[in-house]
Amino acid sequence: MALTFELIEKHGEHEQIVFCHDKTAGLKAIIAIHNTALGPALGGTRMWNYKNEEEALIDVLRLSKGMTYKAAAAGLNLGGGKAVIIGDPEKDKSEALFRAFGQYINSLNGRYITAEDVGTSVKDMGYVFAETHFVTGISPALGGSGDPSPLTANGVLHGIKASVKEKMKTDSLKGVRVAIQGLGKVGSYLAGFLVEQGAEIIVADINEAKTKDMEKRYKAKVVSSDEILFQECDVLAPCAMGAIINDETIKKINCKIVAGGANNQLAENHHGDQLKEMGILYAPDYVINAGGLMNVFVELEGYSKERAIERTETIYDNLLDIFKISREENIPTYQAANALAERRLDSIGRLRQKHPGQMTRTFSTLKIDNR
């Protein structure tokens, strides 16, 4: 138990950690609420076959803190939270498991709102919705917005545009070479959006069928997963798992810009310092990939796809603001993004402390009476 508390202390000042266990349903999960200064904590539920409970705890603590910064930098009235379910998403899913999980979420009375994430789906969130209203990204048939991937990809597209504007001084993506690592939902949508804008794409994925589809559909150049990070290109767009900018890869990266949809792209903060020293512009991941969060925020207000698209397009201006702070203060862009988020957390958080009724008003706007 001492190790558990040490891990919690090491990963920041979290407001609440909830361990969820239902033996009958086979549920082992952890919910982490990092900060609710700006509003209720919102973050997806990840299902992953973690090696052990310690690994799961570290992941949820890290991810929930990232959600606080993501929401703050995106200008949303939301806090940061995350949940992880320990299990194999290919074998261990069941209606009972997700409904048991939904009961735990419901017990938090709106302090945490969940959504789909790695290893979970719109269908899974439908089971959660059977037990609680505090879930987003549900099927349109249930009044939700469905799969947020297209909106996430749209946000990444506008983030790439802002990055190209900053680094290459052009408003056009025509002829810009973009290397996309990972062709999951976000990476695949992004590929299509980029080609529509006139960009040239290089792609890699462990699934050969996906790369062949991109080659046939968009005339994409296909390379192996081992080669994609080191392609000569204008933009490297990581859209797979995190920590891909690390001690080994950073030496061989051959791009002008790193801007993609993956979470936690920097293995450590000092890799962000190195990118700056190398003259490579880094679009902080939690800013450029905030489109999915923006989409579900709009769902909480009463969903409109047009408003969701408009929200994701604000990522362009958000990144330009961060690049400006980076230039003026001569700090790496990841530090500039943190500074922007922390200033908002501090200023709006202090207002909330003076006027706690505002938190109640935020909760009352949630569509919790339409199930």
Q: What are the pLDDT tens digits along the chain (371 aa)?
A: 446 777 777 776 899 999 999 999 999 999 999 999 999 999 999 999 999 999 999 999 989 998 999 999 999 999 999 999 999 999 999 999 999 999 999 999 999 999 988 899 999 999 999 999 999 988 888 888 888 889 999 999 999 999 999 999 998 999 999 999 999 989 999 999 999 999 999 999 999 999 999 999 999 999 999 999 999 999 999 999 888 999 999 999 999 999 999 988 999 999 999 999 999 999 999 999 999 999 989 988 888 999 999 999 999 999 999 999 999 999 999 999 999 999 999 888 666 665 555 544 444 344 433 33
| Domain map (residue ranges) of the chain | 2-67+79-142, 149-343
How far apart are alpha carbons 134 and 105 in whole angstroms? 7
From the candidates 82, 93, 167, 256, give the one annotated as an active-site residue.
Answer: 82
Structure token digits, residue 357: 């009724």
How far apart are alpha carbons 278 and 287 in whole angstroms? 21
Q: Could you give the C-alpha distances from 36 to 73, 286, 356, in angstroms and in order?
A: 14, 18, 12
324 is catalytic: no
Residue 217 contacts by C-beta under 8 Å, 6 or more apart in sequence? 192
Q: Could you give the C-alpha distances from 21 to 18, 82, 98, 101, 158, in angstroms and in order?
A: 10, 16, 12, 9, 41
How far apart are alpha carbons 47 and 351 in whole angstroms? 36
With 0-12 CB in 10 A as exposed, 13-18 as middle and 19+ as buried, what is 92? middle
| The pLDDT value given to residue 367 | 45
CATH of 149-343, one of 3.30.420.480, 3.40.50.300, 3.40.50.720, 3.30.565.10: 3.40.50.720
Q: Do domains 2-67+79-142 and 149-343 have the same CATH topology?
A: yes
**pTM of the entire structure?**
0.85
| The pLDDT value given to residue 351 | 67
Q: For residue 349, what is the enclosing H or E element? A: helix 333-354
How far apart are alpha carbons 183 and 227 in whole angstroms? 15
Dihedral sign for Cα 307, 308, 311, 313, please: negative
| The pLDDT value given to residue 353 | 61
Could you confirm whether domain 2-67+79-142 is CATH 2.130.10.10? no
